[in-house]
Structure 1
Amino acid sequence: MNSKRFLVTIVALILLTSIMAGCSSKNNEAGNNAGDSGKKEKVAIKVWLTPQWKGVLDATEPGADYDSFFKHAAEKFTAQYSKYDAKVDVEVIAGDQRDQLLNVNLSSGTPPDVIFESVFALGDYVHRGALAPLTDIVDDASKKDIAQSYWDSVTFGKDVYFYPFQNNPGTLVYNADMFKAAGLEKFVGGDTEIKTWTLAEYEEILKGLKDNLPKDKYSNAYPMALYAMNNQGDTWNLAYLRMFGNKFFDDQGNIVLDDANGVKAAAWLKKIKDAGYTNPGPESVSSNDVNGMFQNQQLAISFTNPVLFNNTKADMESGKLKKFDARLANIPSESGDPLSFTYVTGAGVFNTKDEKRMEVAKDFVKFFSTDPELVKSSKNAIPVRSSVAEEFKSEKPLFAAYDANSKYLFNFTGNVPGYSQLREVLYPELQALYMGASTPERAVKEYQTKGNKVIQTNKANSVIYGNQ
């Protein structure tokens, strides 16, 4: 009996030892697997940006600088990122050195992984094949929150190449005090409104300013700014050439200004110049010149964007400029629908050929472009998201007006290849028009012929048109 009990005890001990060993083995295996999953592969990406705004949400933050937002976004991104052990390096580059730095680094195979900049300045890099499509990271919620006109600005061919974050819309600015002095009170809009006038009303305004503006109070003043000295501020001239319905580009990216509506627009510009409705000598006047004239109340209507407009207001508050009532208006058109355009700012991802870096770069771009808290920083310019405009409209009353105006935006570049070169073609034709050396018919024909030559040359090397 004692022998049987001893044998049973021995067997039980052996079984217990086996079970414990099995559990220990499984625990060790689980522990090893856990250790392996904790060792994620390191991937570092580089982000470049030109100076945009200081601080994360506000320039009054302690230590606020141009890289504050992206450093904060990088910290938040890497803390929650599970695919890789990611590192995001942020570098601010000077705007006037952007192209030189990009070209040098592209030539040496060391471009940044992400760039945050105005899309208008980067379109040619898309056509060169230097940037990767971002269509796969655009979500339905963002498509709904961001107006289609902004997506049109960042779409080349069939793909999205930049994730819209904020924008800098172009409008007219007018001196409401000068309007009132000329008896034009009925045309003055609200101080948080982007006023829309019909073309007939606008012509009435120009005539009223010329005829009725008190010379004793506003000596040497003119109704409207007009300039063509160089390519700066040329986007407003492109808008004026669309005033009578010309669509400017066709579906193949060719200039089609040479039609009855294009000629009519060029003739209108010459007409208002000859009638004395503009500053004299626009062929030798720059956009900077007319901006200064408007600030000194020598022009009643000029061009502006939120940066220029806010700077003018700030200079009034600081005492640099004499105070006057500056308000916003749309560029009118014959159809009655106003014309507006914008410079969309957002992020692009360079085609570095490194799949893991490009994956992390795209994930980072999507993260800071969609994160509910980070997108609030777009309030430092004009938000592209209606939700952000709505949230901050009490703090920034014009946000609602800009958001409502988005449906009138046209894509001024047409996203055509060679747009930066195309800018050099327009102003010489306008100069000839204003000096009487060319007719409206000839000016639009010459611009179209020379401009399309630029576009065709660049289409030959475009990955967008090469894939169509």
Structure 2
Amino acid sequence: MRLARHLPVTTLAAAIAISGHAQAQTEITVATVNNNDMVIMQSLTEAFEEAHPDITLDWVVLEENVLRQRMTTDIATGGAQFDVMTIGTYEVPIWAERGWLSPLDNLPDAYNEDDLLASVRDGLSYDDTLHALPFYAESSMMYYRTDLFEEAGIEMSEQPTWEEVREWAGELHGTQDGLAGICLRGKPGWGENMAFVSTLVNTYGGRWFDEEWNPELNSEAWVNAIQFYVDLLNDYGPPGASSNGFNENLALFSRGNCAMWVDATSAAGKLYDGNESDVADSLGFDPAPVAETPKGSHWLWSWALAIPASSENQDAAREFITWATSQEYIELVGETQGWTSVPPGTRESTYANEQYTEAAPFADFVLKAIKDADPTDSTLEPNPYVGVQFVGIPEFQSIGTQVGQTIAAALTGDTTVEQALESAQRATERTMQRAGYIER
């Protein structure tokens, strides 16, 4: 009341307006992974806040394994630390079933939900309702240095096999200072080394579980696949391969330190950007290699933005995630960051955009890989689960991480492949028994 007695009317009106604006401000906390596409999203904070002056963004950007641990703990305990979570095709249906995520129905017409790729939309839905919106989607592929292949007289196959890859890695390894024949994920984690390893096992004819949910981690297919992986990286991989995940290998390949790399299709945009990559002018790509079968050789994944049911800022969070996954956002990135930098794999309209397809020679290849990946039929022998590079059950997060640690131990020579897989088999059997999948 003292303010009203001593301030002029115009000043009072301004003060009230400022006070009202401050009260209307909503700060939302966005948890995301430190991948290149998310770093770009964070850099466009100002564009969002200018278009939404009543919302401010607070970012928590973490390494992938740490992010998953923090978010899982928070949402399971109702901690409500985050208003937006960056999660994926694995978490969405499991968390939605438990009521942990807000359903994303009644999206605005301008969002054009029908423009989302069907396989990606289905993977982020529960009871036919989206519970996360896709920021980018990916499969996996092989990248290689065309200059090195030409110098060595190596002709790339239309569909490379892992035996061919090993032979090529041996020919190219060390031919330049600091050059590894191949780079692959070694950092332990269900979404790090096991994402790659699962596809390798798939194409060797293996599976995580038989149709009765009995683990098969000590099967001949697993032993052959993991022994091949360990030998390949120890013979022709970079130093410290067991510490390298997606981002570490992306940095190595973009600097020219890898002759080949098998990993996410989402890396293609950065690798083809001459401002970001030293190998942009000598970059080739091919399907992910196969061994006994092509089934499950390339994965299907989407990093997506979801709203925890515990968030107290539901409306503001929805404003942000619809903006960050919209066609408008993709065009903003293309115009400000370059068209190879747009988030791939989410919208049909992206692949109908000539500016994108002309800048990104990999566009049609990536789109086909995403559409061809089948999480309902990913192994040579039938299995009871959904997923290519993961098993769509709640227990897999701990199982996959534990198995990833044992395989990393085999990679560093702390244990043999057979010992690692026997240990993984026993631990997984105990977990499945406790969870009631199999009898004790």
Q: TM-score range by the shorter chain?
A: 0.5 to 0.7
Is the counterpart of residue 236 in structure 1 residue 236 in structure 2? no
Q: Distance in 1 between matches of 2:103 and 2:319?
A: 15
Q: Which residue of 1 aligns with 2:124?
A: 154
Q: Distance in 2 between matches of 1:179 and 1:259?
A: 36
CA contact (8 A) 2:85 2:307 kept: no
Alignment of 1:30-429 (within 5 A): 47-50=28-31, 65-71=43-49, 74=52, 88-95=55-62, 100=70, 110-112=80-82, 114-119=83-88, 126=96, 129-134=99-104, 144-155=114-125, 160-187=130-157, 197-199=159-161, 202-210=162-170, 212-213=171-172, 217-218=175-176, 222-226=180-184, 228=186, 230-231=188-189, 232-248=192-208, 256-258=215-217, 263-271=220-228, 273-274=230-231, 278-279=235-236, 285-287=242-244, 294=253, 297=256, 299-305=258-264, 308-312=267-271, 317=275, 321=278, 325-333=282-290, 334-336=292-294, 339-352=297-310, 358=314, 360=315, 364=319, 367-368=322-323, 373-374=328-329, 376-377=331-332, 380-391=342-353, 392-409=356-373, 410=375, 411=387, 412-429=389-406
The farther-off stretch of 299-308 and 171-180 is 299-308
CA contact (8 A) 1:50 1:94 kept: yes
Structure 1 residues 117, 68: CA separation in 2 closer, same or farther (over 3 Å shift)? farther
- What secondary structure is seen at the aligned counterpart in 1 of 2:307? strand
CA contact (8 A) 1:257 1:444 kept: no
Q: Distance in 2 between matches of 1:370 and 1:300?
A: 34
Q: Distance in 2 between matches of 1:368 and 1:322?
A: 33
What are the ranges of 5 or more consecutive residues in structure 1 without an aligned counterpart? 1-41, 76-86, 188-195
Structure 1 residues 90, 455: CA separation in 2 closer, same or farther (over 3 Å shift)? farther
- What secondary structure is seen at the aligned counterpart in 2 of 1:241? helix
Spell out, residue by residue over 1:248-274, the C-alpha distance to the aligned partner (whole angstroms, 9 max, x if none): 36789x5744485xx324314414654
Q: Distance in 1 between matches of 2:249 and 2:328?
A: 39
Q: Distance in 2 between matches of 1:317 and 1:235?
A: 29
Q: Distance in 2 between matches of 1:451 and 1:44?
A: 48
Q: What amino acid is the match of 2:349?
A: S
Q: What amino acid is the match of 2:403?
A: L
Structure 1 residues 346, 294: CA separation in 2 closer, same or farther (over 3 Å shift)? closer
Spell out, residue by residue over 1:439-461, the C-alpha distance to the aligned partner (whole angstroms, 9 max, x if none): 55x6545434424645676x69x
Structure 1 residues 174, 282: CA separation in 2 closer, same or farther (over 3 Å shift)? same
CA contact (8 A) 1:154 1:162 kept: yes
Per the TM alignment, residue 175 of structure 1 is displaced from its structure 2 partner at its CA by 1.5
Per the TM alignment, residue 181 of structure 1 is displaced from its structure 2 partner at its CA by 2.5
Q: Distance in 1 between matches of 2:358 and 2:281?
A: 23
Structure 1 residues 438, 251: CA separation in 2 closer, same or farther (over 3 Å shift)? same
Q: How many residues align?
A: 380
Spell out, residue by residue over 1:82-133, the C-alpha distance to the aligned partner (whole angstroms, 9 max, x if none): xxxxx54433223358665896698686555x41524269657557643233
Per the TM alignment, residue 367 of structure 1 is displaced from its structure 2 partner at its CA by 5.0
Per the TM alignment, residue 423 of structure 1 is displaced from its structure 2 partner at its CA by 3.9
Structure 1 residues 337, 162: CA separation in 2 closer, same or farther (over 3 Å shift)? same
CA contact (8 A) 2:166 2:232 kept: no
Per the TM alignment, residue 404 of structure 1 is displaced from its structure 2 partner at its CA by 1.8
- What secondary structure is seen at the aligned counterpart in 2 of 1:131? coil
Q: Distance in 2 between matches of 1:198 and 1:400?
A: 19
CA contact (8 A) 2:209 2:215 kept: yes
Q: Distance in 1 between matches of 2:397 and 2:50?
A: 33
Q: Distance in 2 between matches of 1:386 and 1:151?
A: 12
Q: Distance in 2 between matches of 1:214 and 1:90?
A: 45
Between structure 1 and structure 2, the one with the greater Rg is 1
Per the TM alignment, residue 299 of structure 1 is displaced from its structure 2 partner at its CA by 3.7
Q: Distance in 2 between matches of 1:255 and 1:448?
A: 10
Q: Distance in 2 between matches of 1:159 and 1:396?
A: 32
CA contact (8 A) 2:179 2:256 kept: yes
Normalising by structure 1, we get a TM-score of 0.62
- What secondary structure is seen at the aligned counterpart in 1 of 2:153? coil
Structure 1 residues 128, 136: CA separation in 2 closer, same or farther (over 3 Å shift)? same
Q: Distance in 2 between matches of 1:221 and 1:423?
A: 31
CA contact (8 A) 2:179 2:259 kept: yes
Q: Which residue of 1 aligns with 2:424?
A: 447
Spell out, residue by residue over 1:51-71, the C-alpha distance to the aligned partner (whole angstroms, 9 max, x if none): 6899xxx979xxx93423543
What is the aligned-residue identity percentage?
12
CA contact (8 A) 1:224 1:277 kept: no
